[in-house]
Structure 1
Amino acid sequence: MVDDSWIVALVVAGYLLLMIWVGAASARRSQTIESFFLAGRNLSPAVLTATLTATILGASSTLGMAGLGFREGLTGAWWLLSGALGLLVLSIFFAEKVRSAGCYTLPELLGERYDPRVRYGASALILISWVGIISAQIVASGKLLGVLFGPGQEVFMVVSALVFVGYTALGGQRSIVKTDAVQISILLLGLLVVAWRAFHLAGPDEILAAGGSFPTSQARGGIDVMVLVLVVGSTYIAGPDIYSRLFSAKDPKAARASAFAAALLLIPIAFIITGLGISARILFPGIGPEEALPVLISETLSPLGEGLLAAALLSALISSADTTLLTATSILSLDLFRRARPESSERTMMIVSRGGTVLIGGVALLSALRLPEIIGALLSAYTVFAGGLIVPLVAGFWRERLRLTSGGALAALLGGGGTAILFGAEMPLLGMMVSAALLFSVSWLSPQSRRLIRG
């Protein structure tokens, strides 16, 4: 650590303590299920846009995507651009439908479209995928603090996990929403400051030359771009964390407007963060790719600026982790426990919800201690989720017109998700293809569908 590193440590520690205080303060207003998971369903478009953007700008969109820029140049921006395309599709075609459903969780929405078996299958698949995504955020937090403060990445991972699991268990959605607007403002301002310094040091001409071609390059060809758009983009069209935000909107129009605004914000951010990765390769070629952003922060800013941006970047990682954690908890509590114990009181459900938050956070931390890299872990989780869930969910909005059955949806969930688990690393689109084939073939061959045709 440098001589002034105590300033950085003080700012980061102050931020972490502030998050715990926010969670404790929000706990008093989070005594009902609707308040804990959906903040009372009264989020305005401005607040919703801020919290949605903060949720998206997590490990993959900061440390991971800067690492992609470091490795392959401008085509690394496709990670976040894929998300922007997915959000645009969500905004135009589905956001108002999602909010109008009045559900708490994505599996509940699927259960209403089909039947309880599909709800249970979706719950299991999302929990498996989302533990991996939470784990990746914890790994990213450890990498960030490890670069800033030296060895001890595992210790930093444990500390970060304890903080966001703690305040999420206390305050739920209210504690998350309260911090997101401030976090995203500080993060965007900090990224602009680092970009100005880094681009000046590396040189615009050198950055453009090192960035390579776009939209495709030698590192990422057209097929690779298409796979990324379909796999990553689809998780924005039907992601349970994104849906938890839309369910919290005050009305369907607010849900649509916030998704559209967040999509537009992601486009310039994608190129700025990728450019930072390219700059780091020029200035510090010996570092690891996913260390690009933390090294730029530590080498281009004053200790106070480094501490502020480190806290903001840590908040970006935590703001994604807490939303993902709360989403997984809502599925465990509402789609599994309450369905099994429908007579449970509100007080019992709150105890189960807070306990479930701690349980899922603990499992994710144990998984994080074994993960090698951020982007690889996230892509694996996204592939499993997309393989089983995307096709039956999107097609379910036109279930009657397409003559889809609950049996077909369940086969698509299990077959597509299982295929993605087994073969997703080598063939990331195979799960979605199997899911589509099973959804339509099982539906159309069922007696129920044949009766509809005859009718």
Structure 2
Amino acid sequence: MVDDVWTVALTVGGYLLLMIWVGAAAARRSWTPEGFYLAGRALGPVVLTATLVATILGASSTLGMAGLGYSEGLTGAWWLLSGSLGLLVLSVFFAEKVRGAACYTLPELLGERYDPRVRSAASALVLVSWVGIIAAQIVAAGKLLGVLFGPWQEIFMVASAVVFVGYTALGGQRSIVKTDTVQILILLLGLLVVGWRALHLAGPEILAGQSFPTSDGRGGVDVAILVLLVGSTYIAGPDIYSRLFSAKDPKTARRSALAAALLLVPLAFIITGIGITARTLFPEIGPEEALPVLMAETLSPLAMGIAAAALLSALISSADTTLLTATSIFSLDLFRRARPESSDRTMMIVSRGGTVLIGAVALLSALRLPEIIATLLSAYTVFAGGLIVPLVAGFWREKLRLTSDGALAALIGGGGTALLFGAKMPLLGMAASAFILFFVSWLSPQSRRDIRG
């Protein structure tokens, strides 16, 4: 806990109030489903790039990456560099196709490529796993503020959740992209403040002896596995696709994905470098405590307030996008398909109510049922193992002679393989998904007509 707690508290409190104000102001134009979920499909390259980067820089890319730098050195940067490579592939090969599909959600895109069964299975899987990701961001926010202000993590978790659930329910995508634009500027400022101070104390020579691109702790095979596993989730991430669907045109989607990929490269080394310096200055702490302890022990109260707001912005900017992604799937892929006659007014009520409901479930999981979070997050492993191959291959479905039965079998078989064996063989799920997709598809008669919906 810091000495001048009031200066830090006022800075962080001011940041949270600013986010509420920015989000509420943007909500005035979100009165239709397209405005609520996709910001009217009008995002330009600067705003789209900013919100993509803000979405990506969550708990794993800040607290987790600094922890990797603390524990293994500069090769920890491969976590975010893998994402950068995935975004690069997305930009070159898929971004224009994704935006050109004019869908609202990733499961809807899968449904168009295959059939309603695949859409429903993908919807259920993403919805469950995304609740776990929201809960994980809430827990991370509580731990961060707990380091700074004392052992009231539950109160901090509730406060953080109320802020991002509130402005997301009010304005949807419009509120998120506006707050993300502010948050990424705060985040960059905070990382520069912490990075400069840490490097000043530890000395720039601390980075000179670091091994890269491989090290004793992470060899070439380990790097390749990380690039394939993490990078693939950036090629087919529901939260990233929600951004591309919001672009004003396909070229903007492609250019913004490319710009975000390039911006992640220096950020990967900055965040990892912060973790490396923390290990030199505080060798007795846990790896994921590197960023908050470095802030609490080395910065002035005002600088620490800025850094705390920056790190909190990273967590919140990922949580709000994940929340809206889950809400869109709940409302559009599940509710609207069950009630296709629903008016826009009804859909807006369901959307805002669904946002609050999903946010509350995630908060409850974070507060009282932490063991459930691990179970929910395991569904993300199933998502990666089961959905990525059918989704990517689906862009060339006719040429590859893929069927809906093959896609559904790949989702279930690849996801189940990832769930059972992913801890020891992280790529086995995707390999099984690919094999099942082509095997089942090519066994099906070519004359078979896929169900469309």
Band of TM-score, shorter chain: over 0.9
What is the rounded CA distance, in whole Å, between the counterparts of 1:381 and 1:315 in structure 2? 26
Give the direction of change, closer, same or farther, for the CA distance of 1:359–1:373 in structure 2 (3 Å limit). closer
Q: Are the equivalent residues in 2 in contact too, given 1:84–1:264 (CA < 8 A)?
A: yes
Q: Name the counterpart of 1:298.
A: 296
Aligned partner letter, 2:248: K
> Which of 229, 232, 244 is residue 231 of structure 1 equivalent to?
229
Aligned partner letter, 1:251: D
Q: Name the counterpart of 1:320.
A: 318
Post-superposition CA distance 1:92-138 (Å, at most 9, x none): 00000110111100111111111111111111121122122212211
Gaps of 5+ in 2: none
Q: Name the counterpart of 1:286.
A: 284
What is the rounded CA distance, in whole Å, between the counterparts of 1:2 and 1:399 in structure 2? 57
What is the rounded CA distance, in whole Å, between the counterparts of 2:375 and 2:155 in structure 1? 20
* CA apart distance, 1:153: 2.0
Q: Name the counterpart of 2:412.
A: 414
The residue correspondences of 1:7-156 to structure 2 (distance < 5 A) are 7-156=7-156
Is 1:344 matched with 2:342?
A: yes
Q: Are the equivalent residues in 2 in contact too, given 1:125–1:388 (CA < 8 A)?
A: no
What is the rounded CA distance, in whole Å, between the counterparts of 1:23 and 1:214 in structure 2? 41
* CA apart distance, 1:57: 0.8
What is the rounded CA distance, in whole Å, between the counterparts of 2:441 and 2:299 in structure 1? 59
Aligned partner letter, 2:322: T
> Which of 381, 396, 402 is residue 398 of structure 1 equivalent to?
396
Q: Name the counterpart of 1:195.
A: 195
Q: Name the counterpart of 1:220.
A: 218
* CA apart distance, 1:223: 2.6
What is the rounded CA distance, in whole Å, between the counterparts of 2:294 and 2:220 in structure 1? 30
User: Once structures 1 and 2 are overlaid, which stretch shifts more, 120-129 or 149-158?
Assistant: 149-158
The residue correspondences of 1:152-163 to structure 2 (distance < 5 A) are 152-163=152-163
Q: Are the equivalent residues in 2 in contact too, given 1:133–1:377 (CA < 8 A)?
A: no
What is the rounded CA distance, in whole Å, between the counterparts of 2:262 and 2:119 in structure 1? 32
* CA apart distance, 1:426: 2.5
Aligned partner letter, 2:243: R
Q: Are the equivalent residues in 2 in contact too, given 1:232–1:382 (CA < 8 A)?
A: no
* CA apart distance, 1:316: 1.2
Aligned partner letter, 2:419: I
Q: Are the equivalent residues in 2 in contact too, given 1:404–1:449 (CA < 8 A)?
A: no
Query: Superposition RMSD on alpha carbons, in Å?
Result: 2.0
What is the rounded CA distance, in whole Å, between the counterparts of 1:170 and 1:320 in structure 2? 17
* CA apart distance, 1:379: 7.7
**Number of residue pairs the alignment of both structures matches:** 449
Q: Name the counterpart of 2:249.
A: 251
Q: Name the counterpart of 2:308.
A: 310
* CA apart distance, 1:381: 5.2
Q: Are the equivalent residues in 2 in contact too, given 1:92–1:256 (CA < 8 A)?
A: yes
* CA apart distance, 1:222: 2.4
Post-superposition CA distance 1:60-104 (Å, at most 9, x none): 111111011111111111110010000000000000011011110
Aligned partner letter, 2:427: L
What is the rounded CA distance, in whole Å, between the counterparts of 1:187 and 1:315 in structure 2? 6
Aligned partner letter, 1:429: L
Gaps of 5+ in 1: none
Q: Secondary structure at the match of 1:28?
A: helix
Give the direction of change, closer, same or farther, for the CA distance of 1:377–1:254 in structure 2 (3 Å limit). farther
Post-superposition CA distance 1:408-432 (Å, at most 9, x none): 0011111112222233222221211
Q: Secondary structure at the match of 2:442?
A: helix
What is the rounded CA distance, in whole Å, between the counterparts of 1:377 and 1:20 in structure 2? 31
* CA apart distance, 1:373: 13
